[in-house]
């Protein structure tokens, strides 16, 4: 039973210390790939600690953010890579510094997951897209 006179300590109620991805991993995936990749990592973390509603909220918001980013980046006639990186930076910041801290305030107390599996998956997803863009640019010349 929770005593309302004492502050709630989330670490006492962790289910056998589940492992989660770190804030830095979420930030990095968001910048290098896209905020949707960082959101998937954060969503998995939230599900692992039993916050399924928050996990769905983060995923939905990241999908909306990705759509808005796509629209913003495609407004200029010429592609501006700095705009894409800037949007990824802002999305990663929101995920790692706002949502992570909001939903997992004791996140530093959890053991950290290795990033190799999501990194390989992200590369497998992203590489064909990058190659298709390069190929299409070469076809225009």
Residue 140 has pLDDT above 80, yes or no: no
- Put simply, whether the predicted model's pTM sits higher than 0.75 gets the answer yes
Q: How far apart are CA 53 and CA 51, in angstroms?
A: 6
pLDDT band at 5; cut points 50, 70, 90: low
Whole domain around residue 33: which residue ranges? 19-114
Residues near 28 by beta carbon (within 8 Å), at least 6 away in sequence = 38, 92, 115
pLDDT band at 4; cut points 50, 70, 90: very low
Nearest to 41 by CA among 80, 81, 105, 92: 92
pLDDT (0 to 100) of residue 53: 97
For residue 82, the SS3 value is: helix
> How many domains, the chain?
1
Tens digits of residue pLDDT in 7-32: 445 555 545 779 999 999 999 999 99
Beta bridge partners of 122: none
pLDDT (0 to 100) of residue 131: 93
Q: Which of residues 75 and 140 earns the better pLDDT score?
A: 75
Residue 76 located in a structural domain? yes
- ∠ CA 83-55-44, nearest 5°, is 85
Residue 6 located in a structural domain? no
Residue 10 located in a structural domain? no
CB atoms within 10 A of CB 14: 14
Average pLDDT, the chain: 88
Residue 3 has pLDDT above 70, yes or no: no
Residue 4 located in a structural domain? no
Q: What number is the average pLDDT over the span 45-60?
A: 96
Residue 122 located in a structural domain? no
């Amino acid at each position: 039973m929770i005593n309302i006179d004492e502050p709630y300590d989330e670490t006492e109620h962790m289910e056998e210390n589940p492992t989660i991805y770190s804030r830095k991993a979420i930030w990095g995936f968001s910048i290098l790939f896209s905020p949707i990749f960082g959101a998937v990592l954060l969503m998995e973390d939230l599900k692992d600690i039993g916050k399924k509603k928050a996990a769905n909220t983060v995923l939905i918001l990241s999908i909306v953010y990705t759509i808005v980013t796509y629209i913003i980046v495609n407004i200029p006639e010429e592609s501006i890579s700095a705009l894409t990186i800037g949007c990824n930076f802002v999305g990663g910041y929101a995920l790692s510094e706002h949502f992570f801290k909001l939903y997992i305030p004791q996140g530093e107390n959890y053991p950290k997951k290795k990033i190799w599996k999501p990194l390989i998956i992200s590369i497998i997803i992203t590489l064909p897209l990058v190659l298709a863009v390069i190929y299409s640019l070469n076809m225009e010349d």
